[in-house]
Amino acid sequence: MAYDQHGRKIDYIRISVTDRCNLRCLYCMPEEGVAWKPHDAMLSLEEIREFVRIAASAGFARVRLTGGEPLVRLGIVDLVRDIVATPGIESVAMTTNGILLPTVAVALREAGLERVNISLDTLDPAIFTQITRWGDINDVFAGIDAALAVGFDPVKVNAVVVRSLQQDLLGFARLSIDRPLHVRFIEYMPVGDASGSDGLGWSTADTIPNEELISLISQQAAEAGIGALLPLNADTSPKGWGPARYYHFAGALGTVGFISALSRHFCGECNRLRMTAEGQIRPCLFSDQEYDVRAALRAGDDAAVRSVLAEALAAKPDEHHDRIGTDRLMSQIGG
Ligand code: SAM
Ligand code: SF4
């Protein structure tokens, strides 16, 4: 079992398998994509497998694959299968934009992937294309359908809330009523600097605090005759309770969650490390401190990999202390 110096059990690792993507979300990636890097800067699939084997032996039981877009990484289904089969690994999940799910959902499910989080920040087709620079929202809807059809459980839809986007918040929340979809609203975080030149220029003023969001949605729901959002507890919330607070509409098949990365209650429950596609371990999303595990992996030195993990664990801060910006973009960190 791995514990950090603040007594938190750290058994979850988010692994970025690529910093590339088939979309270019304005707040995540510049239009031209990621800067060219030599092929061997990235961990190979074999190196990721080795890392998971060693991390599992050090007490990391839960893995989430992310990116960039994990489904654009060649060999992703085989990687999922191998991670699922790794002794000590209890659960494997993925965060994806959903675009490629219609073609790979069946294979991923058969490979043992249990759950997916699908990112979707607007329900408006034109705004979706604007945010992603060229995406088609119908591909994401098809991805959500495919995820439910193959039985991923839970299927979560993550929406970053941005005040100036004027999203249809009730429309998102309603997605949880007729199907077992767990819609989660995530506070916008000014991570990296993708909002610059051609971005939307979103700032901290665009962050809508959760309390405000919950009362906005409850009010809209009441006006629409849907009824109030009712709070759930850890037993009635979807698997992977994590840092979200969950609610539901009476009789709904899914739930509505709220994640406040900026409030500090999040830090006290932190259970994770992150690894970038280049094999850099990040103890905290909001710190640019990184620990290189790639060299140890390439040297085939299990003990050295364990000691990098231990160093990263020891460096986990108690909280982010109001530092919310990072030098790297989310696509480079692995969101
Ligand atoms: N491509 C996959 C996807 O979009 O789900 C996985 C990687 S993406 C970096 C993971 C998540 O990070 C997405 O839900 C995205 O909305 C979120 N994200 C990216 N930049 C963000 C930011 N500045 N603030 C909050 N969330 C952000
Ligand atoms: Fe790609 Fe996900 Fe970043 Fe959008 S949020 S650019 S889909 S990595």
202: domain CATH number? 3.20.20.70
Cβ neighbours of residue 66 closer than 8 Å, sequence gap 6 or more = 14, 15, 16, 17, 94, 95, 96, 334, 335
* Ligand 2 pocket list (CB less than 6 A): 21, 23-25, 28-29, 67-69, 97, 119, 330-331
Within a domain: 157: yes
Which ligand 1 atom minimizes the distance to the CA of 202?
23
Domain assignment of residue 5, yes or no: no
For residue 241, being part of any structural domain is answered with yes
Provide the domain count of the chain: 1
With CA atoms as reference, report the closest residue to 123 among 173, 177, 180, 164. Answer: 173
From the CA of 25, the nearest ligand is: 2
How do the pLDDT tens digits run along the chain, 335 residues long? 788 787 878 899 999 999 999 999 887 888 888 887 888 999 999 999 999 999 999 999 999 999 999 999 999 999 999 999 999 999 999 999 999 999 999 999 999 999 999 999 999 999 999 999 999 999 999 999 999 999 999 999 999 998 888 899 999 999 999 999 999 998 887 665 544 444 456 677 888 888 899 999 999 999 999 998 999 987 777 766 566 889 999 999 999 999 886 654 567 777 889 999 999 999 877 677 899 999 999 999 999 999 999 999 998 777 666 555 555 666 666 66
Ligand 2 pocket test: which of 14, 18, 19, 23 has the largest number of ligand atoms within 8 Å of its C-beta?
A: 23
Phi, psi (5° rounding) for residue 295?
A: -60, -45
In a domain, 255, yes or no: yes
Question: What's the domain range around 17?
Answer: 12-333
Nearest CA to ligand 1 atom 22: 189
The answer, yes or no, to whether any atom of ligand 1 lies below 6 A from the CB of 21, is: yes
pTM score of the predicted model: 0.93
With beta carbons less than 8 A apart as the criterion, state whether 124 and 162 touch.
no
Written as one letter, the residue type at 196 is: G
Pocket test residue of 115, 160, 163 for ligand 1, highest count of atoms within 8 A of CB:
160
Tell me the torsion sign for CA atoms 234, 239, 244, 250.
negative
Query: In this structure, is residue 187 part of a structural domain?
Result: yes
Q: Which atom of ligand 1 is nearest to the CA of 187?
A: 25
Residue 6 lies in a domain: no
User: Rounded distance, CA 181 to CA 211, Å?
Assistant: 22
CA distance 187 to 166: 14
Considering the domain boundaries, does residue 1 fall inside one? no
In a domain, 4, yes or no: no
CB-ligand 1 contact for 332 (6 Å cutoff): no
Closest C-alpha to ligand 1, atom 8? 335
Pocket residue to mutate for ligand 1, from 95, 118, 332, most atoms within 8 A of Cβ? 95
